[in-house]
Amino acid sequence: MLKTKGKAVNVGQSIVAKVTRDLHNRADNCVLVCEDYYPENLMGFKALVTNLDIPELAYSIPFVHQVQNLTHLQEGDVLAIHSSGLINSLYRTSSNQNFILVTERCNSNCLMCSQPPKDREDIFDLHQIHRQLIPLILKDCSGLGITGGEPTLMGNLFYEMLEQLQIELPDTEIHCLTNGRSFAWKNMADRLGALNYDKLMLGIPLYSDYYAEHDYIVQAKDAFNQTIQGLYNLASNNVRIEIRVVLQKQSIPRLTKLAKYIYKNLPFAEHITFMGLENQGYTPFNKEKLWIDPVNYMDELGEAVEFLSGKNMNVSIYNSQLCLMPQNLWRYSRKSISDWKNIYLPECTQCGLVEACGGLFASAEKMHSDFIKAL
């Protein structure tokens, strides 16, 4: 999530509003963004954001001044302005990878979690922000993500949010990341099924066909059984499902067995994706348990992917680089890394396939394959 910061004046509760740089667009849901100037009259605007240092008594409406960076704020973007002076970009019109972070709490504690859970009560406050955000998102938004933490910990607010999305953005594909464990309780899955939300897909991780290994990776007792029961409960309610497998040292030895387990036991999965490791959050601290150079698992990955593809299942490879894969796997590779944390190494600038390659996470500067090369 992109963010910047300045000094806030007259900001109490968090303000959610659209960006405009047009002095004539005086809508009450707009925040005026000004670089190197500020106007005398702000009537009609919800707030002002500027890089200049202006007197605290200059305006009666909320404003944030001395903001460090404004270049990423574009017309129509949606911001949350906080009393601390922090400005979060909640929605960016130029991006196809917008998401809603609904909580940082989680009931798992995965070894490779890129955003380690925080045990604090943030659900209600974030929900109040997102209730204001959703009506401001462009109606032609093609896709939107929901992530955490674990979104189902929102309880009733989870379903309230989905109902609002159905109403405000009926044509937008919604992709929700969840560990799926809460749906082991049938009433949770039944309530989701009752929404008949055909634009919603749940992305649910499964790291092994063996319960003890999955439970170890997610650091939660009985997580495998809960996830599998949740998947069956969701399938019985016709909820769209994606299975996500992170490629790391713990999951590689049984990768082909997991692929066969998915085919035999989870044939209703609409999509299966194998995902490269992100060097963020817990991963650097668990490097010895997790890191394996991708070139060293290509045989296992290829066998798993081509088995599923051969069974007419929809399968993809995320967060991986073409130069590390055999050519027969290139057709499964997707450009999946969010634009704001996507980089290419110096070697990549000489590569003839750089436009087709998904590149790397920004965190990969400190940990990446020794075999990255230009093709």
Q: H-type helices in 194-274, by residue range?
A: 211-218, 223-236, 255-265
The confidence score (pLDDT) of residue 337 equals: 83
Q: What own/partner pairs with CB < 8 Å and gap ≥ 24 does 54-61 have?
A: 56/9, 59/9, 59/10, 60/10, 61/10
* 190-237 pLDDT, tens digit each: 999 999 999 999 999 999 999 999 999 999 999 999 999 999 999 999
pTM listed for this prediction: 0.93
* 254-286 pLDDT, tens digit each: 999 999 999 999 999 999 999 999 999 999 999
Report the Cα 153 to chain-centroid distance in Å: 17
Strands (E), the chain: 3-5, 7-9, 15-20, 30-34, 47-50, 63-65, 78-81, 86-91, 99-101, 143-147, 173-177, 200-205, 240-246, 271-275, 315-318, 342-343, 360-361
Whole-angstrom Cα distance, residue 304 to residue 255? Answer: 6
Low-confidence ranges of the chain (pLDDT < 70): 1
Quick check: helix, strand or coil at residue 172?
coil
The confidence score (pLDDT) of residue 140 equals: 94
